[in-house]
Amino acid sequence: MFINFFYELRRAGVPVSLTEWMILMEALSKGLACSSLSGFYYLARAVLVKSETHFDSYDVAFHNYFKGIETPANLIEQALEWLKEGLPSLVIPPEERELFQDYDIKKLQRELEEKLKMQDGEHHGGSRWVGTGGRSRFGHGGFNQKGGVRIGGIAGNRSAVKVAAGRHYRGYRSDVILGVRKFEAALRILRQLTNQHDGPKDELDISGTINATCRNAGRLKLVWDRPRKNNLKVLLVMDSGGSMDPYIDLCSQLFSAFKRSTHLKDLKYYYFHNCIYEDIYVNPSCISAYAIKTYDFLHKHDPEYRLIIVGDASMAPSELTMVGGSIDWGNMNNEPGLVWLERLARHFKYAVWLNPIPVQGWDERMYYGAQTISMIRQLFPMFELSLNGLEQAVKRLKVRR
């Protein structure tokens, strides 16, 4: 079942294994997709995709394989014309007939005529009449598993194929190449952080021992050095959505550079929207299903982690200074955002903030939105998210705050 979809996922770069594929088949046999394309989309993604960095590749493969399953837009427009012109017979141009080969147009027309003759008023919800909501095949704002015809209104219930075509996760791909190499070069400075400054000197320095022994008239003098193995641990915490959308490409380059870094002992990713409050998220969608308590986040990561926060720091001042200032629905923060940011600043000995807004836009005397940038700069050393800014930020991570 759907074996060609399996190969389409592999071609798109999604590392799907046969074991995961068989788990998906078992889930389908138990009806967990709810007999709908949208249900299959989310079920397959949950089972087959191991990392959010592959969500965009999954969407590309899903759209390529299932495209054309939605109700053709031309059919909807012509259905509207039927209503305006008294339901005349439908004539399809020869070049468009292929689009309608799976639809019995005359049957649809007769079905619509019969419903309109019997219907004596507006209808909302349900599954029988022409109206809004519900599961009727004719109307708008509802959903029909066999493919409905929208009569009036605007499209509201997006199909799984349209959701996939939206490619909402393209900003967090890890295989973006353009511009990534320069970021990678800047991140290589991280290799030097723990090697030269941290950890015990418990590895014999052969060259140093030979040199010291020669200078000591041939009497053996051992010289010890710190091991070459890098023990650097990094937390990358990124602002997701809203005002950060214009900087998706730039953040994606940074994200890709970190993903391709092989010289770090530990690298973890977290997300937030505008400001960090009681919850922090393990997925860029920043919804409650992916939330963990910020206190748990602090307890889990010791102060030796290098904290790198990426965000434009631009928001309403109330989001930083007021209880309940969060703009996220259902997130009533019991403490101001600045209190939580101060906790992070106190906990982590090494921390920087990268801002995609150019330095020229940080002056609150000239830009109203820079007021919150100024507040956050008092807590974290802030650098522009550019090649030079990243190099400066990495060097700053050498210094204990």
Q: pLDDT, tens digit, for every residue of 8-38? A: 998 888 889 989 999 999 998 888 887 778 8
Q: Say whether both 338 and 239 belong to one domain.
A: yes
Same domain, 149 and 292: no
Q: Which of 155-164, 197-206, 249-258, 375-384 has the least mean pLDDT?
A: 155-164
Indicate if the pLDDT at residue 309 is higher than 90. Answer: yes
The verdict on 220 and 346 lying in the same domain is: no
Looking at residue 343, its pLDDT comes to 95
Structural domain span for residue 213: 201-229
Q: Which range is least confidently modeled, 36-40, 306-310, 354-358?
A: 36-40
- Domain co-membership, 128 together with 255: no
pLDDT at 257: 79
The two structure tokens encoding residue 135: 């599961």
The tally of domains found in the chain comes to 4
Q: Is residue 304 over pLDDT 50?
A: yes
CA gap 369, 372 in Å, rounded: 7
Q: Indicate whether 41 belongs to any domain.
A: yes
Q: What is the pLDDT of residue 387?
A: 77
Give the pLDDT score at 109.
64
pLDDT at site 37: 81
Inside any domain, residue 401 = no
Q: What is the mean pLDDT of residues 75-85?
A: 49
Count of beta carbons in the 10 Å neighbourhood of residue 81: 11
- Residue 191 shares a structural domain with residue 206: no
Alpha helices, DSSP H only, in 155-247? 160-166, 180-187, 191-197, 206-215
Q: Are residues 58 and 84 in the same domain?
A: no
Within this chain, do residues 247 and 391 fall inside the same structural domain, yes or no? yes
Residues 52 and 81 in one domain: no
173 occurs within a structural domain: no
pLDDT tens readout for residues 256-282: 878 777 667 788 889 999 899 999 999
| Phi, psi values for residue 85, rounded to 5° | -105, 15
Domain membership flag for residue 127: yes
What rounded mean pLDDT belongs to the chain? 76
What does the pLDDT read at residue 118?
Answer: 63
pTM: 0.52
Instruction: Give pLDDT, residue 262.
Output: 65
Predicted confidence band at 148 (pLDDT cuts at 50, 70, 90)? low
Residue 83 or residue 63, greater confidence: 63
- Average pLDDT (372-381) is 94
Same domain, 188 and 322: yes
Residue pLDDT, tens place only, 174-197: 555 445 666 776 676 666 655 555
Helix (H) or strand (E) holding 23: helix 18-29
205 and 192 inside one domain: no
Least confident of 28-42, 86-100, 246-260: 86-100
DSSP string, 291-336: EEEHHHHHHHS-TTSEEEEE----S-THHHHSTT---STT---SS-
Q: Scanning the structure block, which residue is given the tokens 């990094």?
A: 234
Residue 119 lies in a domain: yes
CATH code at 270?
3.40.50
Which of 35, 69, 103 is the C-terminal boundary of a domain? 69
Residues 244 and 264 in one domain: yes
- What pLDDT, on the 0 to 100 scale, is given for residue 193? 59
Q: In the predicted model, what is the mean pLDDT of residues 89-98?
A: 47
- Domain membership of residue 165 (yes or no) is no
pLDDT at 120 over 60: no
Please report whether residue 255 resides in a domain: yes
**Residue 377 within any structural domain of the chain:** yes
Asked whether residue 369 falls in the same domain as residue 262, the answer is yes
- DSSP 3-state assignment of 239? strand
